[in-house]
Amino acid sequence: MLRIGIFGGCFNPPHNMHKFIGLDLIKNNYLDKVIYVPTGNKYNKKDLIDVKYRIDMLNLMCMDNNNLEVSDFELKSDLVYTYQTLDYFQKLYKKDEIYFICGSDNLKEFKTWKNYKYILNNYKLLVIIRNNDELITLPKDDNIIITNIKPQRVSSTSLRTNLEESNLDKKVYQYIRDNNLYERKR
């Protein structure tokens, strides 16, 4: 039985910390595989570039590692909630265990998510502590696993306005340049 982590997000753009988190979860034996699932175009977020570009960049970022994959699942639907994404992957990987990877900042709002109790009853959440969040403020549940992964502070928002090659995979950085992505921001 594989332990598969679903890493959802905008990935606008995907940066080195996204890759580091996936690889570190595997290296520290939390997971066997990480699947990046970028939000579709219907997601209501300012400055979100087309999902086609975000999928291309994620594929470039993951291409040298067999344990990192990219899914276009949310591209195929109008609006997808987290529980639906997790159910999709559970049906796809029937005999494997599905985890959802999230930052502690997202977990603080977890009770506002669609069918959050269903998610907790059926899946495990791997929580990455962000921005020095206090563990004491996070919900307590057996299916919430606080990881020891310590990401550095890198923000897709800041990268959109100040593109730094050092925070991006070289292939992703070149792709952004070749396609003039985020140009209006600079």
The more confidently predicted of residues 41 and 80 is: 80
Q: What is the DSSP string of 92-118?
A: HTTTSEEEEEEEHHHHTTGGGSTTHHH
**Rounded average pLDDT over 47-74:** 94
Please name each of the domains of the chain with its CATH number.
Answer: 3-153 (3.40.50.620)
Predicted confidence band of residue 139 (pLDDT cuts 50, 70, 90): low
Question: Model-level pTM?
Answer: 0.91
Mean pLDDT of 65-78: 88
Average pLDDT estimate for 5-24: 94
Cβ-based neighbours of 66, under 8 Å, separated by 6 or more: none
pLDDT of residue 137: 56
Best CA proximity match to 100, nearest among 6, 3, 1: 6
**Cα 161 from Cα 177, distance rounded (Å):** 13
Interval 80-134: pLDDT, tens:
899 999 999 999 999 999 999 998 888 778 889 999 999 999 999 999 887 666 6
pLDDT of the residue at 186: 43
With bands split at pLDDT 50, 70 and 90, how would you rate the model's confidence at 184?
low
In DSSP terms, which residues pair with 4 in a beta bridge?
Answer: 33, 98
Mean pLDDT of 67-90: 90
Look at residue 53 in the predicted model and tell me its pLDDT.
96
Q: Is the pLDDT of residue 145 over 80?
A: yes
The better pLDDT of the pair 47, 62 is held by: 62
Greater confidence (118 vs 136) lies with 118
* Bigger pLDDT: 134 vs 153: 153
